[in-house]
Structure 1
Amino acid sequence: MLLNIKSYIRKAQVAELFSYAVFPDDKSIEQAVQAYESNDAWQLYGYEDGELLVGMIGYEKSGDDLIVHHISVIPENRGLGYGRGMILEAMTKEKPKRVIAETDEEAVDFYRNIGFIVQSLGERYPGTERFRCVYEVDEAEEE
Structure 2
Amino acid sequence: MKEITSPAVSSAIKKLLSYATLEKKVDKEYQKYVCLPSRKLYSMEVNEETVSCIGVEFLNSKASVIKHIAVLPKERGKGIGSSMIRFLCKNYDIHSIFAETDKEAVNFYSNFGFQITSLGEKYLGVERFLCEFKVK
The TM-score range, normalised by the shorter chain, is: over 0.9
The answer on whether the counterparts of 1:59 and 1:66 sit within 8 Å (CA) in structure 2 is yes
1:36 Cα deviation (Å)? 1.8
Deviation at 1:50, TM superposition (A): 2.1
Stretch deviating more after TM superposition (7-16 or 100-109)? 7-16
Report what 2:92 is aligned to: 94
* Identical amino acids, percent of aligned pairs: 37
The within-5 A match list for 1:6-45 is 6-7=5-6, 10-23=9-22, 25=23, 27-45=24-42
Q: What is the DSSP-based 3-state SS (H/G/I as helix, E as strand, rest coil) of the residue aligned with 1:76?
A: helix
Change (3 A) 1:131 1:45: same
Q: CA, structure 1 residues 9+82, in 2 after alignment: closer, same or farther (shift >3 Å)?
A: farther
Give the corresponding residue for 1:141: none
With the length of structure 1 as denominator, give the TM-score of the two structures.
0.89
Q: Which has the higher helix share?
A: 1
What CA distance in whole angstroms lies between the structure 2 residues aligned with 1:30 and 1:120? 29
For the 8 Å contact 1:59–1:70, the answer to whether it is kept is: yes
For residues 9-38 of structure 1, the C-alpha deviation after alignment (integer angstroms, 9 at most, x for no partner) is: 511000000011112x3x221221232233
Aligned partners of 1:62 and 1:132: how far apart in 2?
Answer: 16
Most deviating of 111-120 and 121-130: 121-130
- Within the candidate set 80, 88, 95, 2:78 is matched to 80
Q: Aligned Cα RMSD in Å?
A: 1.3
Where does structure 1 lack aligned partners over 5 or more consecutive residues? Answer: 139-143
Could you list the per-position Cα deviations for residues 88-108 of structure 1 after superposition, in whole angstroms to 9, with x for gaps in the alignment? 001111121111111111100
Q: Tell me the secondary structure at the aligned position of residue 7 of structure 1.
A: coil
Paired residue total: 135
Work out which of the residue numbers 101, 123, 126 in structure 1 matches 2:124. Answer: 126
